[in-house]
């Protein structure tokens, strides 16, 4: 019973993911909805995300994004685990350990508010710390967004049979819809074996894929063309000391098209008349785990990663990603029945549970699968602390103390 309650508490947060008010927005945009249920273990929605908490997360333990799934434009909000402002410092508080037994006992006794209060007073670092999530420009710093990869599509107008899905069996986010006489599909995943974010765009009609792609972030960046088929975004974060020791970062994107044309226009990529397009994105920083915490050859590493994946067929990359993920995900499963509820979008099922107190055992099993993915998260060896595969923050000065590490496929 305790497990069920825990899962429900976590699942309840998803009610905010796609509010019912968004349905009116979709009507104005001319979007109609698909009705067939997707795969068994999937979060699915019949409209694009209107805000960050509604987007679908993918990631590989180091590199991730939030997929918004728009029809006229797509926003992929990017994060890389070591994009952190501030400077190296020792903020460890040796007195924090002494408070741990008290906090644990309060949790065991169900006194969660008291445990939170004691934690806020004693489980803290030395110095000013995060200052209530206002530390982006302090020496302590904070975790920051890598930026946005934005696609602005040529095709305009309404969309029919819209579907946005996060398949927990494959850790792939999918967007599909029909516009006119053509069906468009996008797949997004972050590969751990190849350390790359992959975006695949296809259409069942030849020559229909066209869009402009750009790389941006809220501050401290410069984007330029890299060859005729790529972009590179570089920058250095604030070190909090008005110095030059801030973290240096880089993000590279390369387009591989079947048919049509690919070219750069200023600091954007331009694709036209393609049958299909695959975008590859690699990213990293100069962070190293050990003192002096700088010196990782991020420029070379990301360039080598991009060259390696660009030479591989998409199906090979996808297969390697799914096999690597499923080695962990398929260690356990839970089936509580109630499969008939899968015909409804995830947000509608959660709203029904909250509003009408309607039991949905299959939803609890679905969130059990999500809970499992949280528990086997481990990043690449000897890099940073574990993080979810799909994660935030959404901006350069996040509201959370460090980040919003959202659910989805963890490693």
Query: DSSP labels for 29-89?
Result: HTEEE--S---SSEEEESS--SSGGGSEEEE-SSEEEEE---SSEEEEEEEETT-B-S---
Q: How far is CA 105 from CA 6, 111, 113, 243, 365, in A?
A: 18, 9, 13, 44, 30
pLDDT tens sequence across 67-111: 999 999 999 999 999 999 999 888 888 889 999 999 999 999 999
Element (H, E) at 148: strand 147-153
3-state secondary structure of 137: coil
Per-residue pLDDT, 384 = 58
Indicate if the pLDDT at residue 17 is higher than 70.
no
Higher pLDDT: 121 or 279? It is: 279
Higher pLDDT: 409 or 52? It is: 52
Q: Domain ranges in the chain?
A: 2-87+147-375
Percentage of the chain with pLDDT > 90?
Answer: 56
pLDDT tens sequence across 357-377: 888 888 888 888 877 655 544
Count of CB atoms situated within 10 Å of the CB of 41: 18
Token digits for 54?
């509604």
Of the segments 29-43, 177-191, 334-348, 392-406, which one has the largest average pLDDT value?
177-191
Indicate if the pLDDT at residue 301 is higher than 80.
yes
Per-residue pLDDT, 8 = 35
- pLDDT band, residue 9 (cuts 50/70/90): very low
Per-residue pLDDT, 338 = 86
- pLDDT band, residue 307 (cuts 50/70/90): very high
Per CATH, which fold does 2-87+147-375 belong to?
A: Beta-galactosidase; Chain A, domain 5 (2.70.98)
Per-residue pLDDT, 21 = 37
């Amino acid at each position: 019973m305790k497990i069920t309650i825990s899962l429900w508490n976590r699942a309840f947060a998803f009610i905010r993911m796609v509010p019912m008010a968004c349905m009116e927005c979709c009507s104005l945009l001319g979007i109609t909805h698909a009705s067939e249920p997707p795969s068994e273990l999937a979060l699915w929605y019949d409209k694009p995300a209107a805000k960050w908490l509604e987007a679908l997360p993918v990631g590989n333990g180091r590199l991730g994004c939030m997929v918004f799934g728009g029809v006229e434009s797509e926003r992929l909000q990017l994060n890389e685990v070591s994009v952190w402002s501030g400077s190296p410092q020792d903020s460890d508080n040796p007195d924090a350990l002494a408070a741990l037994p008290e906090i644990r006992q309060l949790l065991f006794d169900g006194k969660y508010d008291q445990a939170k209060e004691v934690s806020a007073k004693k489980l803290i670092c030395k110095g000013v710390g995060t200052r209530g999530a206002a530390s982006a420009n302090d020496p302590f710093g904070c975790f920051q967004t890598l930026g946005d990869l934005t696609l602005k599509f040529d095709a305009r107008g309404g969309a029919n049979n819209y579907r946005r899905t996060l398949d927990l069996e494959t850790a792939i986010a999918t967007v599909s819809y029909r516009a006119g006489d053509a069906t468009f599909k996008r797949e997004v995943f972050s590969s751990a074996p190849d350390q790359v974010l992959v975006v695949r765009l296809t259409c069942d009609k030849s020559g229909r894929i066209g869009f402009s792609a750009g790389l941006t972030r809220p501050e401290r960046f410069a984007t330029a063309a890299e060859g005729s088929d790529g972009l590179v975004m570089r920058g250095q974060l604030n070190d909090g000391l008005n110095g030059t020791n801030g973290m240096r970062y880089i993000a590279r994107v390369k387009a591989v098209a079947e048919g049509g044309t690919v070219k750069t226009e200023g600091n954007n990529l331009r694709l036209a008349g393609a049958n299909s397009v695959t975008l590859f994105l690699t990213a990293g920083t100069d962070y190293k785990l050990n003192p002096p915490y700088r010196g990782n050859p991020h420029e070379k590493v990301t360039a080598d990663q991009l060259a390696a994946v660009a030479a591989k067929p998409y199906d090979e990359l996808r297969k390697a990603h799914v096999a690597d993920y499923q080695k962990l995900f398929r260690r356990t499963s839970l089936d509580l029945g109630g499969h008939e509820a899968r015909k409804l979008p995830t947000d509608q099922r959660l709203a029904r549970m909250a509003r009408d107190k309607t039991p949905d055992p299959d939803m609890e099993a679905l969130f059990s699968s999500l809970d499992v993915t949280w528990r086997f998260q481990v990043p690449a060896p000897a890099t940073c602390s574990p993080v979810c595969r799909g994660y935030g923050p959404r901006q350069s000065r996040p509201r959370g103390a460090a980040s919003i590490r959202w659910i989805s496929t963890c490693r």
